[in-house]
Structure 1
Amino acid sequence: MEIWINPACSKCRTAVSTLDKAGAAYTQRRYLEEPPTVDEIEEVLVRLGLEPWDIVRTGEPVAKEIGLKELPKDAEHRDRWVAAMAAHPKLIQRPIITLDDGTAVVARDPETLARVVEGS
């Protein structure tokens, strides 16, 4: 499994600590330093079963700066949402864990982390 993290994020640190305590095998991706491509974001969205606006941190200042908050959440504008995340990875919700079974989760709560650990 791989976990996309921002080391400054407390939820990311909690997720990493939980995985470490469980002895789970994983790799870390510091996605602000190694931003995902549009294709990688699309793949993660498929694995999550979500749309881009479902995992965008609209409270980030850059979301306002680029007008993302006003962008419609529809198929016509979907590519622009994904492109914004690729160009500004800080917009991506975190942590995201891609699992070996082909799924992924946004691991922001203890229940989701527990399911990840149980499956590892």
Structure 2
Amino acid sequence: MAVTIWHNAACGNSRGALKLIRDAGVEPVIVDYVATPPDAATLRRVLDDAGLGALELVRSKEPLFTELGLSGADEAALVAAMAAHPRLINRPMVITDKGTRLCRPPERVLDIL
């Protein structure tokens, strides 16, 4: 099974999801999404695949969210902001053959393994 995780090693939820994936016997493709951010088209595809709106993926408690004046922003503006500022992307996003999930809590990854 192909598994990709948008990972941030500083995040406990991200580390927890990665551990669950590995415990299931899968070595995922690990994407450091801050160093290698997805473009807007990729973000839109992942949001669609996960059945999420941009507001569900954006880190609204990140100070940058407020600094950029994103409160009340529409989908396109939020996606553009996440593409330009990947720190705004919530994690971990996990993409498998069985689906795409924002794995908060990390155990949500078990649904798609």
Same fold judged by TM-score > 0.5? yes
Deviating beyond 3 angstroms after TM superposition, the runs of 4 or more aligned structure 1 residues are none
Residues 53-68 of structure 1 aligned to structure 2 (within 5 Å): 53-68=55-70
C-alpha separation in 1, matches of 2:106 and 2:6? 17
**What SS is found at the alignment partner of 1:28?**
strand
C-alpha separation in 1, matches of 2:87 and 2:34? 6
1:100 aligned residue: 97
C-alpha separation in 2, matches of 1:36 and 1:94? 13
The gaps in structure 1 that reach 5 residues or longer are: 72-76
Identity of aligned residues (%): 35
Structure 1 pair 110–33 and aligned structure 2 pair: CA distance change class (3 A): closer
Q: Which structure would you say has the larger Rg?
A: 1
The gaps in structure 2 that reach 5 residues or longer are: none
Structure 1 pair 110–86 and aligned structure 2 pair: CA distance change class (3 A): closer
* Higher share in helix: 1
Q: CA RMSD in A?
A: 1.3
2:111 aligned residue: 115
C-alpha separation in 1, matches of 2:72 and 2:47? 21
C-alpha separation in 1, matches of 2:75 and 2:24? 37
1:15 aligned residue: 17
Structure 1 pair 14–111 and aligned structure 2 pair: CA distance change class (3 A): closer
Match for 2:90: what amino acid? Q
**What SS is found at the alignment partner of 2:71?**
helix
C-alpha separation in 2, matches of 1:70 and 1:25? 39
Count of aligned residue pairs for this structure pair: 111
TM-score normalised by structure 1 residue count = 0.86
